[in-house]
Structure 1
Amino acid sequence: MTTSNSKTLPPYVSYRTFWNFLDGLQAAVPARIDRSFWGDKLSGSTGGQLIGALKYLKMIDGNGVPTLRLKQIILTKGVQRSNLLKQLTQEAYPFFLMELEPANATYAQMEEKLKEHFQIAADVGRKCIKFYIGLAQDGGISLSPFVTRKSKAFHTTTSSRKSRRNLPRGNDTVVEQNPDPPTPSNEQLAFPPSPPVQSLGQMLMSKFPDFDPTWTDEVKLRWFQAFDELIQKFPGIKR
């Protein structure tokens, strides 16, 4: 199969950065996702990789407008979210899941498939595979141990290099990183802090029904409208 420079690459942004960003949208989803939304919280390259990932996974459209899929994944959790991630992974990675046997494929086979479908550098390919592994595992898809072990080996090697670079040299002073916590005073022991009182917004949110992806589009729309009204009335509450 011939490769193409015009193809959008699969996500290769850090999987942790990807989820940190999605978690930050739970309070409110902007009308458009662009670089102005996160400001200086992300570097230019990381921001570009994040937008590319969201577009590839069809979580935003070509203009950066969030799709229903993005809202579903943000607002669901547990089994419901896992099912959505499984469906997303199957649609986004047919070259891994349809052209290979996920349960026993090797890491080299996955690298070969990426090169068949995309013009991609080796280091970017490794990042693509690492992101795919995280997404597939969160979606409950069983993966080959030959792939997961290899990915962990890459991570361990990289971490070891960083640790060696951070070791003190010569007469460098070693600073204790985890000092003993301060001993609580008698007043603190006698009067421990009271547990936080649950607000009205939190109580209403706890009663709000979980999102069900099997609902009709009409019911889904009504659910999102009701959820948006609740968020607007009680800003800051979390599901």
Structure 2
Amino acid sequence: MLPSSSKKLLPPYVSYRTFLNFLEGLQQTMPARIDRSYWGDRLSGSTGTQLVSALRFLDLIDVNGFPTVKLRQLVTSKGSQRTELLKQVTHESYSFFFLSQVDSQAATYAQLEEAFHDNYQIANDVARKCIKFFIGLASDGGMKLSPFVTKKTRNARPSAAVKKSGRSLDKKAGTEIPQHSGLIPNGTGMDKLLIDKFPEFDPSWPDEVKLKWFTAFDELLKRTGG
């Protein structure tokens, strides 16, 4: 039998910017259900799946993908009301941290990292992405977090080599490619064929298998120019 922690929904590790852009898109029209037919034209397979998993973890959609009251309130709210809703979502979703003995306003980055590892079976790279999303959500919720955590996250910047590579790709394509947008570029027919041939994601897989699927899919996107 798998450990109980392996059956938990993983904390969001999709780009927080992708999450915000998705919420903004819902302001136009809220679909009856959040499924692949809705987000498939906007996001890559791995990014879309990570986003849906994030919405589930935050209790913004139910197990069948239907929007919850909380999501509808969040999408229509503004100003202080939106901030308060984000604070509520953060407190409820990350209770494993806020209800621990660690002081959220004085914790070191290592303590926050340990809280994620103690409660979820995730690799270090995934934990880093989880923490980045958590800090973005908590900050937008007006929550005061430890400066030892926020400072380290702000200082985590892409290397010069990565930035240079990104600029070269933008220039070659003749258009700006948003970082971490998760969008699928207009590739060749072979690129699309390879992506279409990739195994369909199954939410019932163990978390270890899910992580391997995400890693393999991201590698496929890199090979095909995604």
- Compute the TM-score of the two structures, normalised by the length of structure 1: 0.66
Contact 2:40 2:48 in 1 (8 A): no
Q: Which runs of 5+ in 1 are unaligned?
A: 178-239
Aligned pairs for 1:45-194 within 5 A: 45-99=46-100, 100-154=102-156, 156=157, 158-166=158-166
User: Aligned AA for 1:150?
Assistant: K
Taking the aligned partners of 1:85 and 1:166, their CA distance within structure 2 comes to: 32
Distance between the aligned counterparts of 1:105 and 1:3, measured in 2?
Answer: 27
Give the structure with higher Rg (CA). Answer: 1
Deviation, structure 1 residue 3: 6.6
> Closer, same or farther in 2 for the Cα pair 1:166/1:19, shift >3 Å?
closer
The secondary structure found in structure 1 opposite 2:6 is: coil
Q: What is the CA–CA distance in structure 2 between the aligned matches of 1:114 and 1:161, rounded to whole Å?
A: 30
Give, in angstroms, the shift of residue 163 of structure 1: 1.7
Distance 2:44 2:159 in 1: 21
* Equivalent-residue separation in structure 1 for 2:166 and 2:88 (angstroms): 41
Q: Which residue type is aligned with residue 162 of structure 1?
A: V
Contact kept? 1:55, 1:62, Cα under 8 Å: yes
Determine the C-alpha separation between the residues in 2 that align with 1:46 and 1:140. 27
1:20-75 CA-to-partner distances (Å, cap 9, x unmatched) read 00100111111100111022321110000000000000000000000000000000
Query: Percent identity among equivalent residues?
Result: 55
- 1:115-139, Cα deviation, whole Å (9 max, x unpaired): 1100000000000000000110111
| Count of aligned residue pairs for this structure pair | 169
When the two chains are superposed, the root-mean-square deviation of aligned CA atoms in Å is 2.1
In the superposition, the TM-score normalised over structure 2's length comes to 0.70
**Contact residue 13 and residue 129 of structure 2 kept, 8 A:** yes
Distance 2:152 2:68 in 1: 34
Unaligned 5+ segments in structure 2 are 176-226
